[in-house]
Structure 1
């Protein structure tokens, strides 16, 4: 199992906004951030920076939850933040016409599972006030939005927040540890790969739903974004990052063994390598920079009042570098 512990916030987060040649990137827990692990392990940003004539210094931080990620970005504690679709749309909406935060690229398509230790829960309608559902960010994270979509499908139009009162914010490793321990305080969890798959190895834990079932197929889980000012002031560093990200995705898709080695080296956990390779072979787990179903998430969030501005297209929420891609 991957190492379990609280989020680590590096000292670099107190450093003022960086100059060209320095990039401060924050990531979260889980397999969804594998492209960042690969480019970090293989020093791809530095490589592409040299090709552009820039010696790039990369600083890393690890946070838990989209709200913390967005707070760090807006305070200029980091340059690039990464999380799920929900937090991305939230900060895009919040900064539209101001800091103009937009996505640089997607990182993946991945299913999110709601898992539980409660044998009486077969659908979301079966949860009671005695249950608690852990997720990384209450009401704002992509896991929270997925639960709201499931709630509205189960309880009816306008009942999207029916289960919000049962949610509690925990980093993926801590929520997984609580569920595996048989804790009576945490009976449900919406996390991400590899955590949800680790949980399902325990016979006391079962899956209630997959987000792919709710949305009718694959969708973007994680993205990475920045302020417009960073892209404008640091064009070479920005391009070095995007080129490195694209190369990292290509490496993952071509060489699962190299990708697994990078994940294990960066995370320094005790996740079984064979188990990790099995996940990388799962066709439901896809690594791509091209976004999918962004517009559907945005439509839902606009309908429930989570964002004021509804993008006309996914391209409204992305910088132009990816506009030639066939996203949705």
Structure 2
């Protein structure tokens, strides 16, 4: 995540770059993950174009660009190559804080329960980890998983315990972490995971769940957020309204027909999963698909309170544009 902070610092010093897209083209950064399913459906069914036309802009078109990770997507926005980005909540928290509000949230997208998985049979709780265990997270300290681990320790033993497992934590991408978890010879024996990797891992009888992120909150956390530069938002109200309406329609489709949503997810993502496993995930109580930024304030405030970011939001109005707050209120 250091590269995200470095890029954000450059953006503050030089000013965020305006893009060079055609006047009618709106560029979206996406990742092919379950918690980004609403965006995938918006693209597949051309829902952005549908709602832009209904708002009087029939020539607006969406260009969806796929990125391998959230850092690359944020980089693309900073350099002016996309207008909207959908990435993990903690990535958003970093760029919001480091740009002093020049980037804000447009809407929530989705969230799934993130499970902490281990092949160590002696680990049943967080207190059972020993110095020899190694816990993989996608980015140390500031990824969704790293922040959830810190929050879980603080909830269990108080704020002074939040860094208790830092020495056991290592940085690995989810694909590499899954391979390590399933390899009994690898020093990494634990993975703070996410679907689809967690679904694959749990098929192995040696793997069990220690906890998941859903245990930290009273309601499912919307851990994937769509955001944009304030300057773009202010100059393009129709695009903002159209994407919010499109996401709402996609969310309604997922709720009404999870079977179709699962089929489209597998078709678009290329993941080799059983469709019923995806359907079960979509129906899970820890899964949310909503434009409401549920739970986001608590997490970003925690990041500020623990020194991960330099600016603290006091209300959702500090982090999100007014359109989504008016709608969700």
TM norm structure 2: 0.85
Q: Distance in 1 between matches of 2:315 and 2:283?
A: 32
SS in 1 for 2:86: strand
User: Which of 35, 38, 44 is 2:38 aligned to?
Assistant: 35
Contact 2:223–2:296 at 8 Å: present in 1 too? no
Matched with 1:321 is 323
Q: Distance in 2 between matches of 1:43 and 1:91?
A: 28
Of stretches 305-314 and 157-166 in structure 1, the one that deviates more from structure 2 is 157-166
Contact 2:32–2:40 at 8 Å: present in 1 too? no
Contact 1:21–1:55 at 8 Å: present in 2 too? yes
Which consecutive unaligned segments of at least 5 residues does structure 1 have? 1-14
List per-residue Cα deviations over 1:128-176 (Å, max 9, x = no partner): 3332222222211111110111232345423322223333333333322
Structure ranking higher in helix proportion? 2
Q: Distance in 2 between matches of 1:238 and 1:215?
A: 29
- Across the aligned residues of Structure 1 and Structure 2, the Cα RMSD in angstroms comes to 2.3
Q: Does 1:56 align with 2:58?
A: no
SS in 1 for 2:279: helix
Of stretches 244-253 and 147-156 in structure 1, the one that deviates more from structure 2 is 147-156
Contact 1:179–1:187 at 8 Å: present in 2 too? yes
Q: Does 1:22 align with 2:25?
A: yes
Distance 1:295 1:240, change over 3 A: closer
Q: Does 1:85 align with 2:89?
A: yes
Of stretches 291-300 and 173-182 in structure 1, the one that deviates more from structure 2 is 173-182
Contact 2:244–2:291 at 8 Å: present in 1 too? no
User: Which of 73, 76, 88 is 1:72 aligned to?
Assistant: 76
Q: Distance in 1 between matches of 2:165 and 2:319?
A: 28
Q: Distance in 1 between matches of 2:259 and 2:235?
A: 37
Q: Distance in 2 between matches of 1:71 and 1:84?
A: 14
Q: Distance in 2 between matches of 1:221 and 1:311?
A: 17
Q: Distance in 1 between matches of 2:184 and 2:24?
A: 47
Q: What is the deviation of 1:308?
A: 2.5
TM norm structure 1: 0.86
Q: What is the deviation of 1:255?
A: 1.1
List per-residue Cα deviations over 1:165-216 (Å, max 9, x = no partner): 3333333333223323445132111122333233222211111112122234
Contact 2:221–2:288 at 8 Å: present in 1 too? no
SS in 2 for 1:25: strand
SS in 1 for 2:170: strand
